A and B are shown apart, each in its own frame.
Chain A
């Protein structure tokens, strides 16, 4: 619309230019004006009729307009009066030609009121020949104005961007937006409409007002208000930010201290203490150089502590606690360790401080050697003597790779290395005694590994026997069984694992997992379990073969956490010392035997595996191509009993073999590839809109929502409605305050994100709402 009119305007201007070309001296501005007024009639006629007078007038006008710079619209139109009269001293009729600016300025110079500055300006103006650009047409200006206004409005509106996107992403929206916080309201608001009536009240109020204490809405006294005003908003914000930061830091340190305090690990605290002590020593050394007196005092303090320790023998094994621990030490690894630590503490406290660090270590070593005397006898017994099942707890801490090591010295070194690995995070060095203990453990573990291996082999033998017993099973079943066996040898929990782990790993873990597999199997297999510990003739060849294999494994699998199964199920057997196990050891397996026997009895004659295999075979057969006989006997031939159809008519059709079954290589699984029509009715066939891939879509169904599966709190959280409105409350449109609130929230969020750095993965609902927001913006 405006475009069109603009074009029109341009045309007008052109027309005018053409018509005025006869009169070259006419000002451009004049043309413009004429164009505005409607170029068709007015100017043409006036130009022809009036002669020189008009021209002179034009000149004058030109001069004046050059003076003012601004165009005066009225001048062009009210023509008659202006011809005769002139406000200025210059009469256009007097001058023969063009009126110069200097003519006008001549009078100027005589008047003293005009400052030199203005004069200079005018002179410059005179020299300057440039004409002012013609103003744009009305349509054009309006268009520009509109454009500007629109830009302004658009930018103003865009400040809501963040609020809108945030609301689109929000998991829950609460309406009305500006809800009054629940709970008691400030007294000032409640009292607002209340007036002092009784004399006592009036007295109180008089007092308050006399002291300029506020009693209604402004809670601040004038002085306070003044102080508030004194602090500008920016200052206050900066101050607040500082305070917040300080508070955050403080709480952070507090939390850290609390966390550290909570750490139960004695070792950790020991290491910490050691570091602290070392720091102290260094400090003292420094102090000796700088401030000997203070250093002396510090040393004295330490000496005092040492003396006290020596006198009290607080950390010797004479205390009540130590005694109780000594009793427990037989059964409890932890207790034993605690005792050792205490003794170490004692040693550290009682040694002299003046010695250098090297000496300290030496002493420690000596102490370790001497420690054996301090420890109760049974503790040592437990270490050297027959295996105590209760003492095996320590085993689990060791990485499995240590099993591989054959020679004792090697084991020691490796274990030391492992220990270093463990302790790296604490930056502490190992003591000798721990190394020793570890060595023992190591040795014990090796024995176990050997035993379990032999047990594994025995188990396999039994398995084959069991399979042989199963006469009903066909050849195919036998095959499957052998596959089963291979899996049991592989000894991983599931099929995925078997696939993933290479054979080296299998041999490594066979010892841990075979028992588990048996539990899954039939009663016959269960039978084998109780016999296992008793049937322990050691096979030298297997034990020898083991290390070479396991060394390979050691590289691939470096470190492992605590293996619960290993601790609980392994039975200890030692090759070298054929001693009768301690009472508890023998009792436990018997109990197991009973349990297993019971189970066996209960499920006697229930051969699940063979059933399964039969089932699978049947399904496989069903899928196989069948030979269809299409001959039609008696068709064009003689019919009757005992007649064979001729060869050319013997048509047999064999359909193409189906693709190999998916469960071909999975002996324990039946995968049915048939489509079930009744189910497909309820299935989603194409990916719904907001989702991009199947994984995303399926992730929506990963976890149930109901309270059958979730705790009350989770259910509440999960089933939170997206929009919550208050009953009977008017929801007002969004107001400016929301913008401010949002700004604060965003600032908080960004700061928290920065501090966290690592972002949590978004919950799925979040993801989609974000996506939606994005879509909405993109549209």
Chain B
């Protein structure tokens, strides 16, 4: 006969060690926990406030360059290594954990125009105003040895941009034309030119590794396929594009930083108009880099700020600036999606957090859960005016603030004028041109 008795599994209520948390039986009866919406709203409000309180994005500044920092390069295999090249031809290798310079070398005479680390991380390439491409060993030379490049290629013209293939020993430079080089050869294996322009930057697509994009001084963005003998397509915009960056997770999207204060995200298949116009800067945008997750990108501008944009948002979610930071020339997003590195005119490299309020270091599980919860709460109530107001508040330097207002007024005036013109002309004769279409002059194929 089976006798039924009350029995409880001690595992359900006995702690394994005295350091464990006490089990707390809960009653989830909703009548016992009323006002859930208002309570969560309050929590969301508090979380938002705390986020703003803890938003301290600036971590440190790496100083040591004797001239403005002109280019940065991430190490492909090591998170803690950063390379920087300055306007006086000096390249410095930094250890980010110690926040100190570990190696300094005089790479070029004049500017170091571009720098890229080989995909395996064993060496890096630099180009400079002295018309040379140099390959350097990543490891510092032993004591008493001189810093000497592994390879030096003398070019006919000045090189302005450099990028390395994701998987092969092939790199691309740009100057008067876009050249594709094999590491083993001293002449380019392929040269692309399309009209007489000078190019300012060239970038390999990290996903579709044979594709390239370049920005030319005739206000155009040109796409190439390394395997083809001709360029693919060209889009001409109203103003010059300084740099472009491909999305590392989405093969056909790239974002370009333009002189007209905006950034444009294009789908390379449809160049007729950009997918998104990102506007917030109040001066020319000089550099752009995608986060390795491909969800956001960071841009550096001549207006002395760094802004972070979600990839499909028209406006930035964050703006970083300090009193001493001058025109930001180059920007990089670290490969672990945690930090942002900016190099600026006043010889400093700055290390920022990608999420301003994020706590660095290891989080305890409960801490992690709390963070996740408050994050979700913030998302849930983000449209509430009070929360929105707090979450969106940022401090801006006075001049940038005024410039922004001025730009707004200008834009509004232009818009008003356009509507007035439209009103007083034959219907249909003044078509409405969307913001996206405004900035593209033509597509040439």
A and B: bona fide binding partners: yes
B380 touches A (CB below 8 Å): yes
Q: Which residue of chain B has the shortest Cβ distance to A151 in the bound complex?
A: B232
CB–CB B369/A719 < 8 A: yes
Contact with A along B285-300 (1 / 0, CB 8 A): 0000000111100000
B180 touches A (CB below 8 Å): no
A244 touches B (CB below 8 Å): no
What chain B residues lie within 8 Å of A779 (beta carbons)? Answer: 275-276, 312, 436
B256 touches A (CB below 8 Å): no
What chain B residues lie within 8 Å of A1 (beta carbons)? Answer: 194-195, 234, 444
Which secondary structure dominates where chain B touches chain A?
loop
Least CB distance from B420 to A in Å reads: 27
B386 touches A (CB below 8 Å): yes
CB–CB A701/B28 < 8 A: no
Given known A-B contacts A706-B373, A718-B376, A776-B312, A681 and B385 have beta carbons under 8 A apart? yes
Our pick among B76, B79, B230, B251 for the contact of A160 (Cβ within 8 Å) is B251
Least CB distance from B191 to A in Å reads: 14
Least CB distance from A525 to B in Å reads: 23
Given known A-B contacts A704-B40, A708-B36, A727 and B336 have beta carbons under 8 A apart? yes
CB–CB B37/A701 < 8 A: yes
CB–CB B336/A149 < 8 A: no
A175 touches B (CB below 8 Å): yes
Least CB distance from A143 to B in Å reads: 7
What chain A residues lie within 8 Å of B248 (beta carbons)? Answer: 731-734
- Kindly state the separation between the CA atoms of A160 and B377 in the bound complex, as whole angstroms: 33
What chain B residues lie within 8 Å of A150 (beta carbons)? Answer: 223, 232-233, 445
A-B contact count (CB 8 A): 167
Contact-size category for A: 35 or more
CB–CB A158/B207 < 8 A: no
B147 touches A (CB below 8 Å): no
Q: Which residue of chain B has the shortest Cβ distance to A773 in the bound complex?
A: B312
Q: Which residue of chain B has the shortest Cβ distance to A5 in the bound complex?
A: B195
- Kindly state the separation between the CA atoms of A143 and B443 in the bound complex, as whole angstroms: 13
CB–CB A701/B445 < 8 A: no
CB–CB A173/B208 < 8 A: no
- Kindly state the separation between the CA atoms of A496 and B276 in the bound complex, as whole angstroms: 48
CB–CB B230/A704 < 8 A: no
What chain B residues lie within 8 Å of A733 (beta carbons)? Answer: 166, 206-207, 248-249, 292
CB–CB A682/B208 < 8 A: no
Given known A-B contacts A157-B252, A710-B28, A734 and B207 have beta carbons under 8 A apart? yes
Our pick among B229, B251, B335 for the contact of A157 (Cβ within 8 Å) is B251
Given known A-B contacts A1-B195, A157-B208, A711 and B40 have beta carbons under 8 A apart? no
CB–CB B36/A709 < 8 A: yes
Least CB distance from B77 to A in Å reads: 7
B43 touches A (CB below 8 Å): yes
What chain A residues lie within 8 Å of B385 (beta carbons)? Answer: 681-685
CB–CB A734/B232 < 8 A: no
What chain B residues lie within 8 Å of A700 (beta carbons)? Answer: 380
- Kindly state the separation between the CA atoms of A438 and B250 in the bound complex, as whole angstroms: 69
What chain B residues lie within 8 Å of A182 (beta carbons)? Answer: none
Contact-size category for B: 35 or more
B225 touches A (CB below 8 Å): yes
A602 touches B (CB below 8 Å): no
Q: Which A residues from 670 to 689 make CB contacts under 8 A with B? A: 681-685, 688
- Kindly state the separation between the CA atoms of A606 and B295 in the bound complex, as whole angstroms: 62
- Kindly state the separation between the CA atoms of A152 and B223 in the bound complex, as whole angstroms: 13
Least CB distance from B402 to A in Å reads: 29
What chain B residues lie within 8 Å of A720 (beta carbons)? Answer: 372
Least CB distance from B224 to A in Å reads: 9
Least CB distance from A711 to B in Å reads: 7
What chain A residues lie within 8 Å of B376 (beta carbons)? Answer: 705, 718-719
A156 touches B (CB below 8 Å): yes
What chain B residues lie within 8 Å of A153 (beta carbons)? Answer: 208, 211, 223, 225, 228, 232, 268
- Kindly state the separation between the CA atoms of A705 and B268 in the bound complex, as whole angstroms: 40
Contact with B along A313-349 (1 / 0, CB 8 A): 0000000000000000000000000000000000000
Least CB distance from A148 to B in Å reads: 9
A116 touches B (CB below 8 Å): no
Our pick among B37, B229, B250 for the contact of A145 (Cβ within 8 Å) is B229
Contact with A along B56-90 (1 / 0, CB 8 A): 00000000000000000000110100000000000
Q: List 25 A-B contacts (CB under 8 A).
A: A149-B225, A149-B230, A149-B232, A150-B233, A153-B208, A153-B228, A154-B252, A160-B207, A160-B251, A164-B249, A167-B250, A175-B292, A682-B41, A682-B384, A685-B385, A705-B380, A706-B36, A709-B33, A710-B28, A715-B373, A721-B372, A729-B336, A730-B335, A733-B248, A779-B276
Taking A145-B229, A729-B336, A734-B249 as given, write out 14 further A-B residue pairs in contact, using a Cβ cutoff of 8 Å, ordered by the A residue number.
A1-B234, A152-B228, A154-B252, A157-B252, A160-B250, A681-B385, A701-B380, A705-B40, A705-B377, A705-B380, A708-B39, A709-B33, A730-B77, A730-B335
Of all A-B residue pairs in the complex, the 7 with the closest CB atoms, nearest first, are A733-B206, A731-B292, A733-B248, A704-B36, A160-B251, A688-B383, A149-B228
Give residues in B with beta carbon < 8 Å to A.
26, 28, 30, 33, 36-37, 39-41, 43, 76-77, 79, 166, 194-195, 206-208, 211, 223, 225, 228-234, 248-252, 268-269, 275-276, 292-295, 312, 335-338, 362, 369, 372-373, 375-377, 380, 383-386, 436, 444-445
